[in-house]
Amino acid sequence: MQRLVNLVFAVLFSFFVYGIGDALGQPDPPPPTPPAPTPLTPEQVAALVDENKRLKAEIEAKAKGGEPPTPPTPPKPEDDPLRTKARNEKDEEERTKSNTKKIESALQFNLGIDEFVKTNKELLPEEIGRVVAAGHKETFDTAVSKANALKSSIIQTYFAVQANVDQLTSAQKATLDGYLKLTKNGKEDKAAEIYETIFEPAIETIRKVKKAEEVGRSRAGFASSSSSSAAYKEKLMKGSRASYLGEKEK
């Protein structure tokens, strides 16, 4: 009996120490097979390569005591091709319209500048006539380049007279001063804008002032008094500048 008890105890101890599998002489079950890794896409591989290069460059920069390089800006997602095409076509159409308008305006200016100088002879410095005549003898690539060159020369010649500068508002004087500091090409590029916003209003103001001055003198009898005429002219000038140049009367 005692031998039976000892045998049972020995069997239980074997189960406790070696496990049921070892006690029964059976091998342990194999571990579960891990799932196969999902293959990387070419984009993911490229991203990993770029990230590896960035980290390597950052480590090298820190080792040299410098600042790490700025990470590259990630590319923007590709836009819809039809939207891109429609936008490009619209932009091209607007550029075509703008260029056509510039060409038409330049041709009109080039054809009418002689008549303009003749009509406004009393308002313009005599040199402008010679400037325009010299411009007609030059060769230009386009009508726009000729118009811009003529406008640039006319602007500079007209405002070389200090009295013509004095009639401008403070804002116009500042704009003109910045324009006159540009290079030759810079002046020609902005000539159309300055001609339209400063030169033409200045000429119109002088024309209106002279006309009103003549009418006023004839009606009020100021022709005999130089001091009264000067005062009246100054009053007309201020009123005209307020109307045509936007300057507030003081």
For the chain, the maximum distance between any two Cα atoms, rounded to a whole number of angstroms, is 160
Q: Is residue 49 in some structural domain?
A: no
Q: Does position 250 have pLDDT exceeding 50, yes or no?
A: yes
Distance CA 250, CA 248 (A): 6
Which tens digits make up the pLDDT trace of 198-215? 999 999 988 888 888 777
Q: Does position 138 have pLDDT exceeding 60, yes or no?
A: yes
Q: Is residue 224 in some structural domain?
A: yes
Q: What is the pLDDT of residue 149?
A: 96
Q: Is residue 11 in some structural domain?
A: no
Q: Name the residue range of residue 137's domain.
A: 101-244
Q: Does position 167 have pLDDT exceeding 70, yes or no?
A: yes
138 SS3 class: coil
Residues in the chain: 250
Q: What is the pLDDT of residue 47?
A: 79
- Cβ neighbours, 10 Å, residue 153: 19
Q: Is residue 182 in some structural domain?
A: yes
Looking at every residue in the chain, the average pLDDT score rounds to 79
Q: What is the pLDDT of residue 72?
A: 66
Q: Does position 124 have pLDDT exceeding 90, yes or no?
A: yes
Measuring CA to CA, how many Å separate 27 from each of 17, 20, 21? 15, 10, 6
Q: What is the pLDDT of residue 59?
A: 77
Q: Is residue 27 in some structural domain?
A: no
Which tens digits make up the pLDDT trace of 212-243? 877 777 776 654 445 555 655 565 566 655 65
243's tokens: 């109307």
Which tens digits make up the pLDDT trace of 59-118? 777 776 666 566 666 666 667 788 888 888 888 888 888 888 889 999 999 999 999 999
Which tens digits make up the pLDDT trace of 47-69? 777 887 887 777 777 776 666 56
Q: Is residue 43 in some structural domain?
A: no
Q: Is residue 208 in some structural domain?
A: yes
Burial class (CB in 10 A: 0-12, 13-18, 19+), 25: exposed
Q: What is the pLDDT of residue 23?
A: 44
Q: Is residue 1 in some structural domain?
A: no
Q: What is the pLDDT of residue 239?
A: 61
Tell me the mean pLDDT in the region 166-194: 95
Cβ 232 vs Cβ 213: under 8 Å? yes
Tell me the mean pLDDT in the region 20-34: 58
- Cβ neighbours, 10 Å, residue 104: 12
Q: What is the pLDDT of residue 36?
A: 67
113 vs 250, higher pLDDT = 113
Q: What is the pLDDT of residue 224?
A: 46
CA angle 145, 148, 151 (to 5 degrees): 150
Tell me the mean pLDDT in the region 171-188: 95
- Number of domains forming the structure of the chain: 1
Q: Does position 8 have pLDDT exceeding 80, yes or no?
A: no
